[in-house]
A = this chain, B = another copy of it.
């Protein structure tokens, strides 16, 4: 068994209304000094040792990410 983290974030050129809503809320709540927030997704995936890096890349790219608007990164977590 291995643990893998897949981070999926909106591309830089894509508007992120959720992140902007958080920036606005922080200002109203009195938290100063926050210039920008981008909200994405984090997947923690448990895989058998039989799953190759190529399979993992396909899972991240084809299932977990909408590559039109999102970028992803895959990292294996040390046990």
Contacts of A19 in B (CB 8 A): 43
Q: Separation in Å of the A19 CB from the closest CB of chain B? A: 8
> How many residues belonging to A are interface residues under a CB distance threshold of 8 Å?
35
13 more contacts with CB within 8 A, not counting A40-B44, A41-B41, A42-B42, are: A1-B35, A8-B42, A22-B43, A22-B63, A25-B63, A31-B55, A31-B63, A33-B47, A33-B50, A33-B51, A33-B55, A35-B47, A41-B42
Counting CB contacts under 8 A, is A37 at the interface?
yes
Contacts of A36 in B (CB 8 A): 45-46
* Contact residues, A53-79 vs B (CB, 8 A): 55, 58-59, 62-64
